Chain A
Amino acid sequence: MSQPKLMQGNEACALGALAAGVRFFGGYPITPSTEIAEQLAEQLPKVGGTFIQMEDEIASMAVILGASLAGKKVLTATSGPGFSLKQELIGYAAIAEIPCVIANVQRVGPSTGQPTSPAQGDVMQARWGTHGDHPMIALSPWTVRESFDVAVKAVNYAERFRTPVIILLDEVVGHMREKVVLPADNEIEIYSRRQPTKSREEGYQPFTPEADLVPNPADFGTGYRIHVTGLVHDDTGFPSGSPKITEQCIKRLHEKIDCVKDEITHYDEFFMEDAEIAVVTYGGTARTAYAAVEEARAQGKKVGMIRLMTIWPFADKVIKQAAAKCKALLVPEMNYGQLVMEIERAAAGQTKVVSMPKYNTEIFTPNEISGAIDQLLSEVAK
């Protein structure tokens, strides 16, 4: 895989998942994510894997959860409305601790919205889309190559933490073609799902957490005869109505991600050493923002940029540090203003946070962001 290739973000995402060991994909056609399904329909059987087109979005989510429990690394892909339909079972995967990856190539919503123009309107849905309390991991790539890398990370995290992981693509990155050089197989770090270390006779319980707070429920068909349910359960896997068990169950789900938050918070900083203001951005928008920031620097303006790959859990520390040293943070995003709310929360009044929403189907131009940078620079100079 070391030859340069011209490919789409969606294709790179599919290939990354494949490289990470995904051997099962269930999906339903929806633009702008369909290329991921098409790519895997072609590639998976070549490596003994399984592709299945399901009857709807919900079934696509269900089928991958079943396959995951039977031992496969799994992926599904969708967009806007389909992502909403999958939410119930994303919650199921969270509480039943079933490793799975959901690629959501965002488009303009709500509902059928403005298909299939780009948007970043599912940032909050990715975090809070299902009912109840659970943590979430969501990663958003900004290049085609990174779509590959993010897919690998997403699969690894899903398997390691036994949790749903969302690849939050947007139509810009998903459909954009770039020349990429993919890593060689031996350069790709792959996490293999942990197996039980004890037998039933030795007192194995499928949902007893290890030191990392992640349990080792056995794959189906391996002789452990485990029970998996979407009900709140104790270490045995069977439902419990106890307030104490309920609290422990929900708390552990959160803590297993909280305790690795720093490790899984990925981001880039550009020109931040002496930045007076910083653009905080992610996904396709980060590409435009980078052009504007680079241009500003060329003109001697003290502008930096933070590009978040990890959207959830939110990079509080990174933003807090930036807020402590910058006079303002500018947050362009292709929605009415979503991640800016988290940035405001993390900044906690230490600095001015300026939302720059855009939700008219068009992507940002460098000029728009340059204009906003200039205006903000003049405001903070006063």
Chain B
Amino acid sequence: MSKLIIRTNRCKGCNVCVTFCPKKVLALDTLGKIYAVDEASCIQCGQCELRCPDFAIRVAPKEAK
């Protein structure tokens, strides 16, 4: 299951999520929209979703172990 749900139609490319991601999972594409460059490294900390001003990224809750 995908850890990140990205709604590119809402993304304005502000770079906030890219900056605050501690694992460098996100980047802006050539159109200035976010995408996951390395989703495997995502620790689902939620920092990207927390400060996304555009409601463009959701982090799936961590599965119970």
Chains A and B touch each other in the complex, with CB atoms below 8 Å apart: no
Binding site for A on B (CB under 8 A): none
